[in-house]
Amino acid sequence: MMKKMITVGIIGCGRISQTRHIPEYASNENVKIGGYFDFNKQRAEDISKQYGGKVYESVEDMFSDEEIDAVSVCVTNSAHASISIQALNAGKDVLCEKPMATSLEESEEMVWTAKKNHKTLMIDQNQRFAKAHVRAKELLKAGAIGNVLTFKSTFGHGGPETWSIDGGPNTWFFDKNKSKYGSIFDLGVHKIDLIQFLIESPVKSVSAKLATLDKRNSEGQLISVDDNAISIYELENGVIGTVTSSWTYYGEEDNSTIIYGSKGIMRIYDDPKYSIEVILKDGEKILYDIDKIQTNDNQTKSGVMDEFISSLLEKREPSADAGSVINSMRAVFASIESDETGKRISISGTK
Residues 11 and 59 sit within 8 Å (Cβ to Cβ) = yes
d(CA 30, CA 252): 37
314-351 pLDDT, tens digit each? 999 999 999 999 999 999 999 999 999 999 999 975 44
Q: Is 172 exposed, middle or buried (0-12, 13-18, 19+ CB in 10 A)?
A: middle
66-76 pLDDT, tens digit each? 999 999 999 99
- Beta partners for residue 259, in sequence order: 151, 266
**pLDDT given for residue 2 in this prediction:** 43
Mean pLDDT calculated for residue range 217-227: 94
Relative orientation angle of helices 322-341 and 104-116, to the nearest 10 degrees? 170
d(CA 123, CA 125): 6
**pLDDT given for residue 170 in this prediction:** 81
d(CA 265, CA 313): 39
127-298+328-346 adopts what CATH topology?
Dihydrodipicolinate Reductase; domain 2 (3.30.360)
Split at pLDDT 50, 70, 90, the class of 298 is: low
Nearest one of 144, 151, 85, 73 to 117, comparing CA atoms: 85
d(CA 4, CA 274): 39
Asked if residue 155 has pLDDT above 60, the reply is: yes
Split at pLDDT 50, 70, 90, the class of 43 is: very high
Share of the chain above pLDDT 70, in %: 94
Q: Strand order of the sheet with strand 264-268? A: 285-288, 276-280, 264-268, 257-261, 148-156, 240-246, 228-235, 203-211, 345-346
The CATH number of 6-126+303-320, from 3.40.50.720, 1.20.120.1230, 3.40.50.80, 2.60.40.420, is 3.40.50.720
Split at pLDDT 50, 70, 90, the class of 168 is: confident
Identity of the residue numbered 170: N
Q: Print burial letters for 230-262: b (CB count within 10 Å at least 16), e (below 16).
A: bbbbbbbeebebbbbbbbbbeeebebbbbbbbe
**pLDDT given for residue 4 in this prediction:** 84
Residues 228 and 240 sit within 8 Å (Cβ to Cβ) = no
Positions of CATH 3.30.360.10 in the chain: 127-298+328-346
Mean pLDDT calculated for residue range 51-78: 97
Asked if residue 1 has pLDDT above 50, the reply is: no
d(CA 120, CA 244): 31
Residues 328 and 196 sit within 8 Å (Cβ to Cβ) = yes
Sorted by sequence, the CB contacts under 8 Å of residue 290 that are 6+ apart come out as 131, 132, 135, 275, 276
Question: Peptide bond preceding 160: is omega within 30 degrees of 0, i.e. cis?
Answer: no
Positions of CATH 3.40.50.720 in the chain: 6-126+303-320
SS3 of residue 179 by DSSP: helix
Segments in the chain forming alpha helices (H): 15-16, 22-26, 41-51, 59-63, 80-89, 104-116, 131-141, 176-179, 183, 189-199, 304-313, 322-341
